[in-house]
Amino acid sequence: MKVHPSLAAFAVIGFSAFSSVSAAPAPAGGADKSPPEGLTATEWSSIREVHEAWKHRFEENRDGTISATNPGQSWDTVFDGRGFSVRPRTGGWQWGLDLVTGTGSAAVGIARENRLSYNRGNGITEWFVNDGRGLEQGWTLEKPTGPLRLKVRGGLEAAVSARTVSFGGQLTYGGLKAWDAKGRTVRTWFEADGEGFAVHYDDSDAAYPITIDPVAQQAYLKSANTGAGDQFGITVSVSGDTVVVGAPFEDSNTTGVDSVPNDDGTANNSGAVYVFVRSGGIWSQQAYLKASNTEANDSFGISVSVSGDTLVAGATGEASKSTGVDSVPDDDGSARFSGAAYVFFRSGGIWSQQAYLKASNTGAFDQFGYSVSVSGDTVVVGAAGEDSKSTGVDSVPDDDGTANFSGAAYVFTRSGGTWSQQSYLKASNTGVNDGFGLSVSVSGDTVIVGAPGEDSNTTGVDSVPDDDGSADGSG
């Protein structure tokens, strides 16, 4: 590592908790940012900034410590002059760091609104910013000082690798990256170091200041039956304290909920879905889900969505030619990649499959289930490969070969625990290769469907489609 005594180094460590809401919730009365009557936008923005700084302010305590609350992250932090300790409001653990590089002695903090700084000696100033993103930690180095050595607080044991530091499954410190004053990437890595770890960086060809930026997460999730090529995490969804993760190329041939995985080579890429829940700040796997009719190449979990106690998962490779809700699967080879979607419901912490969904007009390569979304008692399923040339809502499907991969979306609703198809949606300007249904989302009574292959060169809202060939794939 080169030494540049005349240059100032700058390092930033930012960390925040990942949860269903990563920023502070909007105040009562809604999230409207438009200025009240009598105030300009600039004046209103300044008022909001002052309010945010006040909510995240550092406060000096009688015992000499300094504390800060982060409403959005739901944790409190205490600084004692040597380092800090973070305690989640719903957790039974705490975690923190002491900077050992420098004098290693206690220092007096200088707090101003949502900013706090310490002079650590040896040309090191340590500072913190508390805001809606989380708690940002940084150092201003007046001269290169070598690795930044950090001692870990709390009872979480650190497992150190070059890119991440994991703490007992509750916290992960990673996402490490760095760049110099010219925006060039600087190689960085973690190494175990005494009672903690150190952040190393190679400044051989770097121009100061250097910025170093890792992230701490509340959880690092892996499946209970990790396998090569499973692609666990290709799709994810979160609702409250529940996280759902899809692994569409998982290979177990088992079926249903919480079966014992059995990868005997007969169900390659059948897929699986994993449910994790948070309790007291701790995440754990609650369920392992497989389709009720597991087959090779089904890709169950290629799409997932969760809302409260209802979960839906798509399986674009499912090959049954059956139609409608809870039909008997019939895979005779005539409906390859027609696709299916599966609805699961949780009661008393136990998940069970509630419905097996097929399109009302099942067709080979429709890829029903390519996208899914759930909101309350409504599920929307996209079938980006559907071929009907019909248009609008609840039209009669007409697959005459002139609208291949135009796509469709299907709306299902639940009443008394029973699901039924409510609507069949086509674009108002159905066209070949539009891919209508490649993405879907539902909230309450509103559904939105994406069609990335749509070719009209028009702009804006409710324009008249004009496909003159100049905007292929404009969407």
Q: Per-10-residue mean pLDDT for the chain, 475 residues long?
A: 31 30 29 63 70 82 90 82 85 84 78 88 82 74 82 89 80 72 80 90 71 58 80 91 92 89 84 86 83 93 95 95 90 87 94 95 94 96 92 84 88 95 91 91 94 71 59 55
CATH of the domain at 252: 2.130.10.130
Q: Please return the burial class of 73, using the count of CB atoms within 10 Å of its CB with bins 0-12, 13-18 and 19+.
A: buried
Does residue 470 lie within any of the structural domains?
no
Q: Nearest 10 degrees: CA dihedral of 56, 57, 58, 60?
A: -130
Q: Is residue 172 domain-shared with residue 255, that is, in the same domain?
A: no
pTM above 0.75, yes or no: no
Residues 6+ apart with CB under 8 A from 231: 247, 248, 249
Q: Could you give the CA distance from residue 369 to residue 372 in angstroms, rounded to a whole number?
A: 6
Q: Is residue 211 domain-shared with residue 137, that is, in the same domain?
A: yes
Q: Could you give the CA distance from residue 428 to residue 391 in angstroms, rounded to a whole number?
A: 5
Q: Is residue 243 domain-shared with residue 211, that is, in the same domain?
A: no
Per-residue model confidence (pLDDT) at position 211: 62
Residue 81 CA neighbour count, 13 Å, CB half: 10
For tokens 């150092």, the residue is 139
Q: Is residue 202 domain-shared with residue 58, that is, in the same domain?
A: yes
Per-residue model confidence (pLDDT) at position 425: 94
Per-residue model confidence (pLDDT) at position 284: 79
Q: Could you give the CA distance from residue 334 to residue 32 in angstroms, rounded to a whole number?
A: 53
Does residue 154 lie within any of the structural domains?
yes
Q: Is residue 303 domain-shared with residue 411, that is, in the same domain?
A: yes
Q: Could you give the CA distance from residue 345 to residue 20 in angstroms, rounded to a whole number?
A: 20
Does residue 437 lie within any of the structural domains?
yes
Q: Could you give the CA distance from residue 4 to residue 141 in angstroms, rounded to a whole number?
A: 11
Domain coverage including residue 329: 235-450
Number of domains in the chain: 2
Q: Is residue 180 domain-shared with residue 258, that is, in the same domain?
A: no
Domain boundary among 185, 217, 249: 217
Per-residue model confidence (pLDDT) at position 354: 96
Kindly report the backbone phi and psi dihedral angles of residue 385, in degrees, each rounded to the nearest multiple of 5, phi listed first. -100, 5
Structure tokens at 421: 């198809």
